[in-house]
């Protein structure tokens, strides 16, 4: 990835509440995509990795975990998946919601173990160091990386995060569950926020049909009506975000 992508990732995390000591991005990040970018960049950026673990350990409820699972399967290479898996595993180990194991479960592991970080790949001595100091969670992913102890002193408090990222509030209230995935998927991944059927929504949600149907029911109880009769065929149901 380019230097610009690196700067943008740091700026996005700064906006999300990590104190990296640099300007925040102008807009609130798409958290789930940000995690994918983070996984791609982590090998060259050990501090990004440890701080992202710290953030996730405390703020995992902001993550729309089914959407993250789908994005991993669709957009992240097999090479980068174990890195994200380890990031999620270590976050859980440090107190994140156990449900993060849903996206972590599709991240796999490297059959050929190797150092996670580039800085450990530069010599045999460093590779040995990485292997000898690797934590069990990393070894399980086929990676050699030391354990991470989450740090709260590098994080902004929740009130600041919500103030600068109002969209995170709904995610937190719904604890990152399938309702979040449905709403975020329609907002961010579906042009026009409309799908031709519930089945089409299921295909985008990395969950089974009964679970998606229940989540739609729950959203209706919240007053968010997403199911609409198809005007051309009343037997069919379209899925549409309400007008903003």
Sites of contact with another protein (CB under 8 A): 19, 45-47, 49-50, 117, 119-120, 122-126, 128-129, 132-133, 145-147, 152-157, 159-160
Q: Label the pairing between strands 194-195 and 143-144.
A: unpaired
- Please give the C-alpha separations between residue 80 and each of 26, 35, 116, in angstroms, as whole numbers: 27, 11, 10
CB of 169 to another protein, least distance (A): 16
**Which residue's CB is nearer to another protein, number 61 or number 67?**
61
Strands (DSSP E) found in the chain: 114-115, 143-144, 194-195, 227-230, 233-240
**Which residue's CB is nearer to another protein, number 47 or number 199?**
47
**Which residue's CB is nearer to another protein, number 46 or number 113?**
46
**Which residue's CB is nearer to another protein, number 88 or number 143?**
143
Question: At residue 198, what are phi and psi to the nearest 5 degrees?
Answer: -65, -35
Which residue(s) pair with 143 in the sheet? 114
CB of 47 to another protein, least distance (A): 4
CB of 174 to another protein, least distance (A): 25
**Which residue's CB is nearer to another protein, number 123 or number 197?**
123
CB of 122 to another protein, least distance (A): 7
Closest CA to 57 of 93, 27, 10: 93
Closest CA to 205 of 45, 32, 30, 7: 32
CB of 10 to another protein, least distance (A): 14
Neighbouring C-beta atoms of residue 69, cutoff 10 Å: 22
């Amino acid at each position: 990835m380019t230097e610009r992508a690196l700067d943008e990732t740091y700026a996005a995390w700064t906006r999300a509440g990590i104190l990296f000591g640099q300007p925040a991005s102008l807009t609130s990040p798409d958290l789930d995509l940000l995690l994918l970018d983070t996984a791609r960049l982590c090998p060259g950026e050990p501090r990004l990795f440890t701080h992202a673990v710290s953030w996730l350990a405390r703020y995992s409820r902001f993550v729309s975990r089914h959407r993250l699972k789908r994005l991993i399967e669709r957009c992240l290479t097999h090479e980068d998946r174990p890195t994200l898996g380890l990031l999620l595993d270590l976050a859980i180990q440090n107190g994140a919601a156990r449900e993060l194991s849903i996206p972590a479960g599709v991240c796999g592991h490297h059959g050929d173990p190797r150092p996670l970080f580039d800085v450990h790949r530069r010599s045999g001595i460093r590779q040995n160091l990485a292997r000898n100091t690797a934590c069990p969670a990393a070894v399980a992913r086929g990676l050699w990386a030391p354990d991470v102890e989450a740090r709260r002193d590098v994080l902004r408090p929740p009130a600041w995060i919500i103030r600068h990222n109002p969209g995170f509030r709904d995610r937190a209230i719904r604890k990152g569950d399938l309702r979040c995935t449905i709403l975020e998927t329609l907002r961010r991944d579906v042009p026009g926020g409309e799908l031709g059927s519930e089945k089409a929504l299921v295909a985008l949600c990395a969950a089974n049909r009964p679970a998606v149907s229940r989540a739609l029911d729950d959203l209706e109880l919240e007053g968010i009506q997403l199911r609409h009769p198809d005007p051309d065929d009343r037997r069919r149901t379209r899925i549409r975000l309400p007008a903003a």
